[in-house]
Structures are given as structure tokens and as C-alpha cells.
Copies of this chain bind each other. A is one copy, B any other.
Amino acid sequence: MKVWRLRNEWDTISPGVYRQIQAFDDNIMLMVVRIMPGSIVPKHNHRNVQAGLVVKGKLLFKTDRGELEVSEGESYYIEPMENHEVHNITSEEAVALDVFTPKREDYSAYTRLPDATF
């Protein structure tokens, strides 16, 4: 078993959007994302499947086909290469847990070894 502790170190994705990679292997990668009120994850896509859960608050997802709000406790699934952008249109911070499969190779620099292994 391996454990990754929460650290007070957040990478900035875009203004007001912060990322922390957590548990991962080659197949899977967990990432906590904090999105401040009014902030946006700009439109992008990637070859990885992305699934995730809104842990706190509410997020507005936009794809080329439509848009939808996803609230705390609800989950989403984004196909490989599907364009998507994410907005926090509320007045409260939103937190999501994103899961990628396979891991995001382009995020290798943001990973860290587990804090505990046993």
C-alpha cells in the first residue's frame, strides 16, 4: 500500500486554478483540482480518458456538444480527445478529483513519490 499526503504545494494551471497530483501508476492518475470563483480551465483535450467527482461546490462543464453543471457528489466522464472547458460560476471555491487513464505523461513533472509505502 502507498499513501500520498496532502501538501501545501499547488501548481497553477491557469489563473485561480490549482492542481495537486496524488496517487498514480502507469495506468491511472488522481489529481485534486481547486477552482476559485470566476476561474476557468480553458478549452483543451487529451488522449487520456478523464473521469472525476466534484468534491466541493459546483462546476460548469462545456464541450463542443453542450454544457452542464455538475454538483458536489456527482461525477463526469470525458472521452479521449473530447474538447472540454470548466468554469466555476459560483461564489465559492470548487474542488474536483480528476482521474486519468492512462496517466497523463505530460504531468510527469508534477508527480511525487508516495509519502509512505508498506
Contacts and interface: CB of A to CB of B under 8 A. Distances in A.
A81 interface: no
Interface residues of A, number: 42
Contacts of A77: 1-4, 23-25, 114
A68 B23 contact: no
A3 B73 contact: no
B6 A28 contact: no
A67 to B, nearest CB: 8
Interface string A60-83: 010101101011111111110010
Given A1-B68, A23-B52, A24-B51, 12 more contacts: A1-B77, A1-B78, A2-B77, A3-B70, A22-B53, A23-B53, A23-B75, A28-B28, A30-B53, A30-B75, A55-B55, A101-B101
Interface of A: 1-6, 22-25, 27-28, 30, 32, 49, 51-53, 55, 61, 63, 65-66, 68, 70-79, 82, 84, 97, 99, 101, 114, 116, 118
